[in-house]
Amino acid sequence: MSVCGLAEPARCLVPQVGETEKNRWLVGTYARANNKVYLIDYNEDDDLVTSTEYNHNSRVSFIATGSNKNLIITGHDDKATLWAMNETELESISQLPDTYKIKGCAWSNNGKQVIGYGNETMELFNLDKSMAFLQPQQKISCPEQGINAVQWNPHDDKQIGIAANTAIYEIDLRSGQVWGVSFNKYHDQLLLSCSSDCQVNLQSVVSVSSALLHESVFSPGQEEEK
């Protein structure tokens, strides 16, 4: 069994999500000085662990990786920075606004959006086509303070899950409003909803990742065919 040691203490260890052919992880150190981000590679065939060091000017409190293996976000000094990873160094691309203390970030499944969150604030950012800037898109409201974790639904890029205090919330990021919901008194797992995007959705709520059972789309004023 191979072992990889670090010269400094670390607070975060995450897989390199965008790397699908190799076993790779990223580790960020949390020391008083000389902090680094390590890219750790494990070769199963040779049972060999190797690492690449990247200098980082502050303590690394979290690392977020997405579908693009060359882009990472690190948390430091209650802020967050988007970096491009090349062979020898981290290149700073963009920094999230520091109007609140950032506790973490989460990439969307397609790698085109990022959510940054603090104790009571969440904000959605779009990554521009040149991958050179994170553009603020919208603020996201959460019913609870004390946000501890945010995760995109792997089945739907329009939904996120939030852990806040003792509750779990699922939030739809679309700008439309939900106008009505209805339960079926004969089937305790069915939920019907309608919204301002002209959709009527029938869902099974036996699990939070369940797919639509039926979806109807029609224009305002147009009756749905029976």
Which CATH number fits the domain that encloses residue 52? 2.130.10.10
pLDDT recorded at residue 208? 42
Average pLDDT, the chain: 85
Report if residue 133 sits inside a domain. Answer: yes
Q: Which domain holds residue 135?
A: 10-175
Same domain, 157 and 183: no
- Please indicate whether residue 57 or residue 223 has the higher confidence score (pLDDT): 57
CA distances from 63 to 13, 29, 51, 74, 104 (A): 8, 11, 16, 5, 8
As given in the structure block, the two tokens for residue 37 are: 């981000």
As for how many domains the chain has, the answer is 2
pLDDT tens digits for range 86-139 = 988 999 999 998 888 999 999 999 999 999 999 989 999 999 887 777 899 989
C-alpha 176/C-alpha 200 separation (Å) is: 13
Residues 79 and 44 in one domain: yes
Task: Classify residue 3: in a domain, yes or no.
Answer: no
Using 50, 70 and 90 to split pLDDT, how confident is the model at 224? very low
Measured CA distances, 150 to 108, 136, 178 (Å): 11, 17, 22
Structure tokens belonging to residue 116: 């940054």
What percent of the chain shows pLDDT beyond 70?
87
pLDDT-derived band at 195, boundaries 50, 70, 90: confident
